[in-house]
């Protein structure tokens, strides 16, 4: 059963976002990528100092997945040409990528990790 949370989006408008169960904290080790397919989305999870983050599993440079990528601290390195992204928000930290990658909100409940997929 998905968890639902209502958030304030704009002045008087409420938006409903839905979190779906993805995995457990134990499946996402620090300095490792953990890749998942869920509801038509390919996502890569990583951990930095006990916090968990999710990005779209597709480099914005040449459409390479991060399945064989590396994580060092808060940096995600693309395995194909070495672009570097910030796992915390998907921003570009190093070339050759120029565009950020999508970041997904996560929610942690006990040992479970939930992801919100319906965000822009
Ligand atoms: S495909 Fe990722 S840096 Fe080129």
Number of structural domains in the chain: 1
Q: 39 C-alpha vs ligand 1 centroid, how far in Å? A: 25
- Looking at residue 120, its pLDDT comes to 72
Q: Where are the beta strands (DSSP E) in the chain?
A: 3-8, 14-24, 34-38, 41-48, 51-56, 70-72, 75-77, 84-86, 92-94, 103-104, 106-109, 112-116
In a domain, 87, yes or no: yes
- Looking at residue 1, its pLDDT comes to 43
In a domain, 83, yes or no: yes
Is ligand 1 within 6 A of the CB of residue 115? no
Q: 97 C-alpha vs ligand 1 centroid, how far in Å? A: 6
Residue-range definition of the domain harbouring residue 45: 23-116
Domain with 63 in it: what CATH number? 2.102.10.10
Per the prediction, the chain carries an average pLDDT of 89
Q: Which residue has the higher pLDDT, 88 or 6?
A: 88
Cis peptide before 19 (omega within 30 of 0): no
In a domain, 3, yes or no: no
In a domain, 18, yes or no: no
């Amino acid at each position: 059963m998905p968890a639902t949370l209502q958030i304030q989006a704009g002045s008087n408008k409420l938006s409903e976002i839905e979190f779906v169960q993805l995995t457990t904290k134990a499946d996402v080790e620090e300095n490792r990528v953990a890749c998942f397919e869920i509801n038509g989305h390919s996502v890569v999870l990583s951990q930095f100092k006990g916090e968990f983050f999710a990005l779209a599993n597709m480099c914005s440079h040449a459409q390479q997945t991060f399945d064989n990528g590396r994580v060092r601290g808060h940096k995600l390195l693309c395995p194909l040409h070495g672009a570097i992204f910030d796992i915390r928000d998907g921003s570009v930290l190093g070339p050759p990528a120029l565009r950020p990658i999508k970041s997904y909100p996560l929610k942690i409940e006990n040992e479970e990790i939930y992801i919100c997929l319906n965000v822009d």
